[in-house]
Structures are given as structure tokens and as C-alpha cells.
Structure 1
């Protein structure tokens, strides 16, 4: 096997490992610290009469008042940190670091 293919396999392997590790940590961060999306009230479709909250506040902290699709509501709750932004930043940093150190591999 040529040295170029060995280096290419190494670079792709390290990139894939880091990409999956970033994905796992961002998923964990979304589950633990997820903030509501701006369209959460539209997705939730809350029943304000059973929420026991004043109409001027409209803050939903009880999950039982949502009448929308449960799967869409769960995705709307887990919007931050953004997985797309995290994977983009990882890819950009990896490309920058690997291209600046490519002479080390050759």
C-alpha cells in the first residue's frame, strides 16, 4: 500500500472518529441543556385553560398542556446547542489543522 493511501486512511479515520465524538457530545448537551426553539409555542399548541398560568405570561413549564405531535415537540425542545453548527466548526477546524500540518505526514 502506498504511503499516500496510508496517510489518507489515517486522516479520514481520525476525522470520522472526531465527527462521531462531536455528534455524541452535542446530542448529550441537547438532552441536558436544550432550550426551546422560537417556534415552540406553535408546535406545542398549548391548552392555556388547563395550564393555570396568566395569559400575559404564556410560559409553558408543564408538559401536559401541549396538544401537538409529541415527536415534533421533543425536537423543538432540543434546539440548542446546534448540531449543525458544532459539526461545521469541527469540520472547518479539522481541515485547517490537517492542511497546515500536511508536510508532517509527507
Structure 2
């Protein structure tokens, strides 16, 4: 996932514009399957910022969003959650979520 320190909930809540917040783990099979779908969908929406968060036990950001399964995609506008997808299996689902925030 991302080598940078995880953002805090305050960071996410104050991020302007369209954001796709992705929770998962590098070793997760569902996450690996969804990765090309997410990347393809994001190519259609370059104005959306993509923030990947390595989630797991003891990770407060995932808990603050009540993440239970990976990957969980949360679509935000100006820090406000508009929708979410859990274990997406179709690029069109992801594109619909991105369309709703851009």
C-alpha cells in the first residue's frame, strides 16, 4: 500500500475535493483482485484523489470508518462520506462511486 504514515481522521475530514479512500492490506487476495479495477476506474476520474490506507488490527483510521472487510472503498467530497463499496468486483461499481463525488 502506501509507505507514507497513515493520515489521521482529521486529515481525511479536512481534505478538500473528491477523494477515494481505500482500506486494505497488501497480502489480501480480495484487495489484489480489486486493484486493477480500481486503477482502471481512477483513470477515468483524474480529478479524484486516491488515498490508500494499509489497514489492520490496531489501526485507528479504519476503525473510525467502521471498516470490517477489505477492500473497503469510501467515496468522499470535502471530507464527507457520500458512499462506500466493500469488496468491489466490477469496475462500473467503482466508476459510479467516483462519478458521485466528481
Q: TM-score, normalised by structure 1?
A: 0.20
Q: Which has the larger radius of gyration?
A: 1
Higher helix share: 1
Q: TM-score, normalised by structure 2?
A: 0.21
Higher strand share: 2
